[in-house]
Every structure is written in C-alpha cells, then in structure tokens.
Amino acid sequence: MDKKFTIPFALTIVAAALVGCSSHKVKDENTKPSPLPKLAQSKQLVPVFSQHVAATNKNDDLRLRVAVDQGVLFIADPKGFVEAYKGKQRLWSTKLTKKYGLSAGVEAADGIVVVGNQKGELFALDQTTGQTKWTAQLSGSIISPSHIQAGRVITVSNDGNVYAHDENTGQQLWTYRLPSVPFSLRGQAAPVQLDPNHVLIATANAYVYGIDVISGVPRLQRRVAVAEGRSDVQRLNDIDGDPVMMGQFMVTTSYQGQVTVTDLAQQQVVWSDDASSNQRPEVTQSKVFITTTTGKVIAYDLMSGQKLWENDQLLRRNLSNPVLFGSNLVVGDFDGVLSLIDPDTGNLIGRSNTKGQVSSLRVIDNQLYVSTQKGALSVWQNR
C-alpha cells in the first residue's frame, strides 16, 4: 500500500504561519477569532429536532454528515452506530463495529444506507430494517461519504483508490487508482454526480476526474487550481470541498489555491480567483458563495467571476461550508454559532446557536441539517 502523510488542517495553518513569519512574532490580535458583531435586529432559526452522538477528535475533524431519504433521517455515530429517525421517532439503531467506530458520513439512496470506517470497512444497511446487507474491505481508511449512482456504490479510500461496488450484493466491480501525493490535508471530497453516466472525483493534487460509473474508465481529467511556494506545506493544494455542478459548469475550491468555474462542455476555465478554501461552495444559477480558510465569506457572479461582496466579520472562526437556506445564507463556526447572511449584500442579519464546532451543513427538503464536532446533530427551519 502506498503511504500518504496526512496533516490536520489546524496544523497546516500553524505551520504556514511559522513559515511566513520566521523571525517576526505573530501579533495576538491577528490570531484571535473575531468577536461576533452586535446586530440591531437579529433573525433566528427554529430548532426542530436534535440528537447527540459521540464527539470526534479535535485534531481529526471528520465531517460526519447526515443523510435523508424518503423522509427518513440517517445518522452515523463515531462509536459505530447507525440510526434512523422518522421525525423524532427512532425507527432502528444498528451497532456495526466496536473497535474502529465510523469515520465517514452517511449516504442513503435506492433502499440502502452506506457508511465506512478508519479500517477501510464499507457497510451497506437496509434502510427499512437497519440490517447489514453486505460489507466490503477497502485498501485504506474511509473519511468521506460514498456516492450511490446507477446501481453502484462509489467510494474513495484515503490511499487514493476509487472503488465501485454493486449496491445489492457488494461485489467489487472496478477500482481506479488516483495519482499519489506525498502530503495532503486530513480530508477528502466526496464523489458527486457529473451526469447520469459519470461521477466526479476530486483529489489532493487539485485535479478533478470524471469517471464512467459502469466501466471505471476516466473520461475527464482537469486541473482546477495551482499553489505556489517553496515548502511542501506551502504547496499543499487539496480539494477537500465537494465539487458542485450547475448545468455545464463545475465549481471547485481548493486549499491555498483558487475558486474556479470550469465549462465542461467547452473544456475550458471560465474564471478563477485566488482564494483558499477546504469547504464545499454553494452555487445558484447566478452566484457562487465560498468560505475561506481565514474566515471570509465571499460571493461571486457565476458567469463573470465578478466579486459581488466580501464579508470579513467572521475572521479566524473556522467557518463551515456555506448553504442557502430560504432567503438566508448560513455558515457555522468553531463555537457552534450559525450566522445568517443576506446573500444579496453580505450583511450579517441573524444568528442561532448549537453546540461545538460546526463541521457540516446540509439543506434537504427546506430543512437545515447541522453536524458538529461535539456530536450535536440538529435540524432547523426558518421562522
């Protein structure tokens, strides 16, 4: 097995700061999180449901996202449980593993629920009963959710292999080996659908591959970001946020790289702007929203790349991915604060609170699903 050294995201920030300041001391005011500004009027979200699972390691911030299918909520607990809820009613709870727990978020579709762990074990459960349908052993740890498409379960292991398993039997149908990198952040973008026949796989060397779901043959290969620097840390250029498709346009972000919009029909970059992010962008038919590693929230015009606004009131607050929730743009931070932003102006207009650093936001069926590092899983709606 090829070995790849993974670096916790917080450590790369410290290392990059040390490289950049060498003989100069970093001022305290430049390292402390920005205090939350006072708001004259404050919108709030309405909590609908909450559940607590085991916390994740502070140095290994895994995005244990939830999944919803057919109105049922599926939750993975790092201690090895998977649970299903209908409203506030728990339908079932299944213990999958004792020693290794679970390290990747849930994916649910086509009647199955899929999760993985650090040992590289992939589990598929029946959505109705919670019974295990099959298990598979991968060559490396699984730290990002799988993707279910065209009867295949597509999973990326942390050693750079992409796997396809039959969703009904668990039979391994193909593998594809991604280029190896000596160093990367502790993270991995999840596979996402490109079109009915292809899946997008983003890598730690700033490439995105479009792979045929049935055959495993790559049909697309694009480099979407470039990082500069003399040290290995300065040249880290991972794509940890999931790529987003909007029609023929692919939107990507990268650490120490760029936010890039690529026209896949024309096979060319539409625009690119320097911005370091390890989070999934939020994309509409006219706008792109990103959160940067420094804590800025930025909005761009999708077609031209013009910067529409930039909010720097949440600097150094370890922001989550941004999501559009009703008429609000929502981001979470290290302190469990959900900040509401006007997507047209970038102004802060409200906030709500959960517990622990927000690691994942998802909007499904007009509800906001929040996961935190402390294991607080909550569902919210607009007031």
Which pair of structure tokens corresponds to residue 376? 């607080």
Q: Which of 183-187, 240-244, 354-358 has the lowest mean pLDDT?
A: 183-187
Q: What is the pLDDT of residue 185?
A: 54
Residue 285 belongs to what H/E stretch?
none
- Is a pLDDT exceeding 90 seen at residue 41? no
Q: Rounded to an integer, what is the distance from CA 299 to the centroid of its chain? A: 19
- Is there a contact between 7 and 186 (Cβ–Cβ < 8 Å)? yes
Q: Is 1 exposed, middle or buried (0-12, 13-18, 19+ CB in 10 A)?
A: exposed
Q: Which residue has the higher pLDDT, 370 or 9?
A: 370
Amino acid in position 212: D
Mean per-residue pLDDT for 146-161?
95
Q: What is the pLDDT of residue 6?
A: 55
Q: Whole-angstrom Cα distance, residue 96 to residue 19?
A: 43
pTM of the model: 0.90
Q: Whole-angstrom Cα distance, residue 316 to residue 144?
A: 25
Q: What is the pLDDT of residues 202-214, one digit of tens each?
A: 988 888 999 999 9
Mean per-residue pLDDT for 241-262?
94
Q: What is the pLDDT of residue 224?
A: 85
Which pair of structure tokens corresponds to residue 316? 């150094």
Total domains in the chain come to 1
Q: Whole-angstrom Cα distance, residue 149 to residue 364?
A: 18
**Domain of residue 91, CATH code:** 2.130.10.10
Q: Whole-angstrom Cα distance, residue 168 to residue 265?
A: 33
Cβ partners under 8 Å of residue 175, min gap 6: 161, 162, 163, 164, 216
Closest CA to 64 of 78, 80, 46: 78
Q: Which of 88-102, 106-120, 219-233, 262-276 has the lowest mean pLDDT?
A: 219-233
Q: What is the pLDDT of residue 100?
A: 81
Structural domain range at position 363: 5-382
Beta bridge partners, 121, equal 137
Long-range interactions of 155-161: CB distance < 8 A, separation 24+: 155/114, 155/116, 155/122, 155/191, 156/188, 156/189, 156/190, 156/191, 156/201, 157/120, 158/4, 158/6, 158/188, 159/1, 159/2, 159/3, 159/4, 160/2, 160/4, 160/203
Beta bridge partners, 97, equal none
Cβ partners under 8 Å of residue 160, min gap 6: 2, 4, 140, 177, 178, 179, 180, 181, 203
Mean per-residue pLDDT for 108-115?
97
Q: Which of 217-231, 277-291, 310-324 has the lowest mean pLDDT?
A: 217-231
Q: Rounded to an integer, what is the distance from CA 114 to the centroid of its chain? A: 16
The band of 312, judged by pLDDT with boundaries at 50, 70 and 90, is very high
Closest CA to 281 of 309, 300, 256: 300
Mean per-residue pLDDT for 312-339?
97
- Is a pLDDT exceeding 60 seen at residue 15? no
Q: Whole-angstrom Cα distance, residue 272 to residue 60?
A: 30
The band of 96, judged by pLDDT with boundaries at 50, 70 and 90, is very high
Q: What is the pLDDT of residues 54-74, one digit of tens each?
A: 887 665 555 678 999 999 999
Mean per-residue pLDDT for 5-18?
50
Q: How many CB atoms lie within 10 A of CB 46?
A: 11
Beta bridge partners, 153, equal 148, 165
- Is a pLDDT exceeding 80 seen at residue 263? yes
The band of 147, judged by pLDDT with boundaries at 50, 70 and 90, is very high
Q: Beta 207-212 vs 198-202: how paired, if at all?
A: antiparallel
Q: What is the pLDDT of residue 56?
A: 76
Q: Whole-angstrom Cα distance, residue 78 to residue 56?
A: 7
**Mean pLDDT of the chain, nearest integer:** 88
- Is a pLDDT exceeding 90 seen at residue 310? yes
- Is there a contact between 143 and 184 (Cβ–Cβ < 8 Å)? no
- Is a pLDDT exceeding 80 seen at residue 168? yes
Q: What is the pLDDT of residue 58?
A: 63
